[in-house]
Structure 1
Amino acid sequence: MKMKWVNQNPFVMLRKNDGFTIIEMLFSLMILMTTSIFILQLFSIIHTQLESKDKLHPKEWEIFTMQMQQEVRGAKSQDVIENKLYLLSGDQLSFIEQYEDKLRRRVNGKGHEVILQNISKFKVEKDGNVIVLNITDKAGNTVIRRFHPFFKSETKVDE
């Protein structure tokens, strides 16, 4: 087998005419791995963009239910007036209401804290002492959640 120098420089490798060298193989493997990483990232971005923006996000729903459970249990008084949930805790009166396609929380009639979004319909009822939330998202999925307070509501919020 005859080998020839590509260049007269001693640091340049010998080149064979019958196949790849290990350096060429590693270089092509590096290019393949780099492009596959970018393609996987591109598929991940496309997948998240294709998810429906009209649905309730599961993590958002989970956080909402935990916050509501904590607020309802901590309130001294709970009342429902005109499809709004009023919660009295200490000297603060907070209420939960639908505002456009969002569910918002306001304290003492001030503020605008969005606690849930992509809502098409919100209905709140009081079944004895239990607070029942009926929420429909923009995709048409309905979820019902019941909250049990620790304190029995003996006074009305508007008193």
Structure 2
Amino acid sequence: MLSDKHGFTLVQALWQLQLFLLLSYGCMLIFSAAEKAQPFEEMNRFSQMEWKQTVLQLDEELSRATAVRSVKGGKALEYISDQGRVVTIEPYQNILRKRMDQTGHLPLLQKVKQFRVKTYQHRAILKVTDESGQVYEAVFFIYKGVIPTS
């Protein structure tokens, strides 16, 4: 009754349909998991959002700074905040950090390969190179004073 030499029985057809659906569903789950894993690749890249946030924060702080200068041969930015604190923006390992009065640090950007800064004529120009080699640049206007590069 279950076997017919000339074709499939209803039970055999249902069994094979169930097996096909199970395999199809399994493939769909695998592809779905692979697609969801892709955003984790983005975590290993330089964050555009961090860059924009850092630029906005520095723009606000440098507009209120009383003195701004590049130090360490253009590898760090130093300014005196409106509260009289010495703030340094400098690379440390693969991050860009902010230090106040040479104590502690606050990470600003991650995945940074190189940081360069120039100050002249009431302007500060920052160039950041991420680990993939992409260069980001920001120009800040200084209203109170630029100290010549040291």
What letter is aligned with 1:144?
E
Deviation for aligned residue 1:147: 0.6
Distance across 1 between alignment mates of 2:91 and 2:140? 18
How much does 1:51 deviate? 2.7
1:66 and 2:56 matched = yes
* Correspondence for 2:19: none
TM-score when normalising by structure 1: 0.67
2:76/2:115 contact within 8 Å kept: no
Whole-angstrom CA distance in 1 between matches of 2:149 and 2:80: 7
Q: Any conservation in 1 of the 2:120–2:148 contact (CA below 8 Å)?
A: no
- Secondary structure in 1 matching 2:33: helix
Report the CA distance between 1:70 and its aligned residue.
1.0
What secondary structure does 2:142 align onto?
A: coil
Structure number, greater radius of gyration: 1
SS at match of 2:88: strand
2 CA distance for matches of 1:125 and 1:96? 13
1:81: which partner in 2? 71
* 2:36 maps to 1:45: yes
Query: Cα RMSD (Å) of the superposition?
Result: 2.6
SS at match of 2:38: helix
Number of positions where the alignment pairs a residue of Structure 1 with one of Structure 2: 121
Q: Measured at CA, do residues 138 and 121 of structure 1 come closer, stay the same or move farther in structure 2, by a change above 3 Å?
A: same
Q: Show structure 1 runs of 5+ residues with no match.
A: 1-31
CA-CA distance at 1:111 after TM superposition: 1.0
SS at match of 1:144: strand
Is the Cα contact below 8 Å between 1:95 and 1:106 reproduced in 2?
yes
